[in-house]
Copies of this chain bind each other. A is one copy, B any other.
Amino acid sequence: MRIMHTADWHIGKRLNAFDLQDDQAAVFERLVKVAQEQQVDAIMIAGDLYDRALPNETAVTMVNGMLHRLNRELGYPLLVISGNHDSAVRLGTGREWYDATQLYLNTELAQAFTPVELGDVQFFLLPYFEPVAARLYFHDDSLTNINKAMHRVAAALEEKFDPAKKHVLIAHFFAAGSKHSESETLVNVGGLDAVSVDDLQAFDYVALGHLHNRKALNEPKVQYSGSLLKYSVSEVTQEKGVYILDTDTMNRHFISLAPLHEVQQLTGSFKEFSDSDHFSAAERDAYTAITLTDVEVIPNVMASLRQVFPRIIELKREQHVQLETATQTNVKLGPMPLLADFYQQVTGSELTPEQETWAKAALAEASRSELGQE
């Protein structure tokens, strides 16, 4: 069988002031096209269908519509779990009716222990859960963190294994590298909130959601699909799309989905950004985080930049960035050296002797005033 693996739709998400409804609708179209071109037999959606536990009605309409289209109109079996951004209760509405058309939706831990069988594969749909849910389910107070809880859950899932079948886990958590490999830092440092991939080795494939970077793990059988779109500036370099899993070989390949608008980060001078000829239409249309190299005050800077880039999601000065780092090391300096340092970082020049005299006088006056010696 060929199974599509997608996750982290985050329908309803805004990118700063911008509603991503059109972008999400467009990438839904592309996802449908890929499913058809790749002739997939089913689709796994590994959590965070919604961006918020209380999605607005537009988001509800979009998710309901997409699930209906994939399952009822196009006939794909769907294997769906809730993520930490979803409300298990709200997303779970109607689940008892859905499996009649092979829409399998799990939103509670207890539901994970009944696998869904398609062809020669057992699919285990493990929704996002808190350690307390595992403590209650197993009556075991020792499951104080997700790593311990998942160790126990994995063992319980393995008990349901049909040895004649293959075993795929669909889950939504922060998985970190093996304790026995180079990447152990993540488990040990990131600590108790991460699940070790060691506990997932019994499965032939683990289709994960949660981390938006599909390359967050480098494991032979454990894979994040990554999010459907770039949902923050930190994701600008990440390719977004879906995985196609061949369950005969458990090989997978990634298919990227072109977004309606890119998300990009640009650094340059106000002059460069003001010249629309410097940029392609696609670049100008992108959700853009701009870092200005200019030092001087620019009147109406945002309004001016929006003439060229209507979708600015962030505007920073390069100097401010340096300043933020620099001040970390300067906390022990007195007011005058700090002021001189600040001036130098913001303007790139030293204080003149005359400016230094003025500044010292002002600081002395402020100090007297503060001590009530006026």
Q: Does A297 have its Cβ within 8 Å of any Cβ on chain B?
A: no
The answer to whether B101 and A89 have CB atoms under 8 Å apart is no
The smallest beta-carbon distance between A257 and chain B, in angstroms, is 26
The closest CB in chain B to the CB of A95 belongs to B94
User: Which residues of B lie under 8 Å from residue A103 when comparing CB positions?
Assistant: 97
Q: Are B101 and A97 in contact (CB under 8 A)?
A: yes
State whether the Cβ of A68 lies closer than 8 Å to any Cβ in chain B.
yes
User: Which chain A residues in 59-105 approach chain B with CB under 8 Å?
Assistant: 60-61, 64, 68, 72, 87, 89-90, 92-94, 96-98, 100-101, 103
Q: Which of A80-136 contact B (CB under 8 A)?
A: 87, 89-90, 92-94, 96-98, 100-101, 103
* Residue picked from A72, A92, A97, most chain B C-beta under 10 Å: A97
Q: Closest CB-CB distance, A69 to chain B, in whole Å? A: 10
| A87–B89 alpha-carbon span in the complex (Å) | 16
Name the distance in Å between A84's Cβ and chain B's nearest Cβ.
Answer: 15
Q: How far is the CA of A59 from the CA of B51 in the complex (A)?
A: 21
A363 CB-CB contact with B under 8 Å: no
- Of all chain B residues, the one with the shortest Cβ separation from A59 is B89
The number of chain A residues touching the other chain, given as a range, is 10 to 19
In the bound complex, what is the Cα–Cα distance between A89 and B103 (angstroms)?
A: 20
- Which residues does chain B contribute within 8 Å of A90, judged by CB atoms? 57, 60, 90
Q: Is the CB of A60 within 8 A of B72?
A: no
Cβ-based interface call for A364 (8 A)? no
Chain B residue, CB-CB nearest to A100: B100
Cβ–Cβ < 8 Å partners of A101 in chain B = 97, 100
Chain B residue with the shortest CB-CB distance to A55:
B90
The answer to whether B96 touches A57 (Cβ under 8 A) is: no
CB distance from A108 to the nearest CB of B (A): 11
Question: What is the CA–CA distance of A100 and B72 in the complex, to the nearest angstrom?
Answer: 12
Q: Which residues of B contact A89 (CB under 8 A)?
A: 57, 60-61, 64
Q: Are the CB atoms of A57 and B87 closer together than 8 Å? A: yes
Q: Give A146 to B11 CA distance when docked, in angstroms.
A: 34
Within 8 Å by CB of A94, from B54, B57, B61, B93, lies B93
Report the Cα distance A54→B57, complex, angstroms.
10
Residues on B with C-beta less than 8 A from A94 are 64, 93-94, 97-98
Residues of chain B within 8 A of A96, CB atoms compared: 68, 72
Least Cβ distance of A278 to chain B in Å? Answer: 44
Given the complex, which residues of B lie within 8 Å of A57, measured CB to CB?
A: 87, 89-90
Residues of B within 8 A of A54 (CB): 54
Min CB–CB distance A369 → chain B (angstroms): 37
CB closest residue in chain B, given A63: B93
Within A241-259, the residues touching B (CB, 8 Å) are none
Given contacts A64-B92, A64-B94, 12 further A-B contacts (CB under 8 A): A60-B89, A60-B90, A60-B93, A61-B89, A64-B89, A68-B96, A94-B97, A97-B97, A97-B98, A97-B101, A100-B100, A100-B101
A-B contact pairs, 9 of them (CB 8 A): A57-B87, A60-B93, A61-B89, A64-B89, A64-B93, A90-B90, A93-B94, A94-B94, A97-B103
